[in-house]
């Protein structure tokens, strides 16, 4: 069965006709050519497909495109403005917090979701926010440091546990 949907993706209204079983991940990648969200496990366990839906991190492999009807979706492609990276993206680069990069878009989106809810997270809150994002390359220390660097309050870096 086909459904008409209207989703605001990266600030632009998108109207489409999709099948009942099309995942949001596939809609973004195949229909909109937004390939930042990656298929990792397909089971919601790795976080490589994380996008924000109504400002909350969601595993797009577990959400149907029809479930996003009438909602706002933000992908990693929607963070930068022209040649200017989002502060989280820039901090990841500046802190050498990526290696292969496969998981990076998902981590960036989880971090963005956290910072939208809580601009001054503790280190423990950062760790919890990215706990659903698996990375086999970095070991997370630099990733956590990069996210902490863009938090609003530098004193928040002193809160929470030290790693």
Domains of the chain by residue range? 2-78, 87-157
CA-CA-CA-CA torsion for 28, 29, 30, 34, nearest 10 degrees? 80
Collect all residues with Cβ–Cβ distance below 8 Å to 101 and sequence separation of at least 6: none
Kindly list the averaged pLDDT for each block of 10 residues, start to end, along the chain of length 163: 98 98 98 97 96 98 98 97 94 94 96 97 97 92 96 53 41
- Predicted pLDDT at 139: 83
CA-CA-CA-CA torsion for 155, 161, 162, 163, nearest 10 degrees? -130
| Cα 142 to Cα 34: distance, rounded to the nearest angstrom | 26
What angle do the packed helices 141-150 and 104-117 form, to 10 degrees?
Answer: 40
- Predicted pLDDT at 138: 82
CATH architecture of 87-157: Orthogonal Bundle (1.10)
**What would the 3-class secondary structure string for 29-72 be?**
HHHCCCCCCCCCCCCCCCCCCEEEECCEEEECCCCEHHHHCCCE
Count of CA atoms in the C-beta half-sphere (13 A) of 30: 12
- Note whether 2-78 and 87-157 share their fold: no
CATH architecture of 2-78: Roll (3.10)
């Amino acid at each position: 069965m086909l459904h008409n949907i209207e989703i605001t993706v990266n600030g632009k209204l998108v109207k489409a006709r999709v099948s009942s079983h099309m995942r949001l991940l596939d809609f973004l990648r195949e229909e909109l050519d937004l390939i930042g969200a990656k298929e990792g496990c397909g089971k919601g366990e790795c976080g490589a497909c994380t996008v924000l839906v109504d400002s909350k991190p969601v595993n797009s492999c577990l959400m149907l495109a029809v479930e996003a009807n009438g909602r706002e979706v933000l992908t990693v492609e929607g963070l930068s403005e022209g040649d200017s990276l989002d502060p989280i993206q820039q901090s990841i680069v500046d802190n050498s917090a990526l290696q292969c990069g496969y998981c990076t878009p998902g981590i960036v989106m989880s971090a963005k979701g956290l910072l939208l809810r809580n601009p001054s997270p503790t280190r423990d809150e950062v760790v919890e926010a990215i706990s659903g994002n698996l990375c086999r390359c970095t070991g997370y220390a630099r990733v956590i440091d990069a996210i902490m660097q863009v938090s609003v309050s530098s004193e928040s870096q002193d809160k929470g546990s030290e790693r």
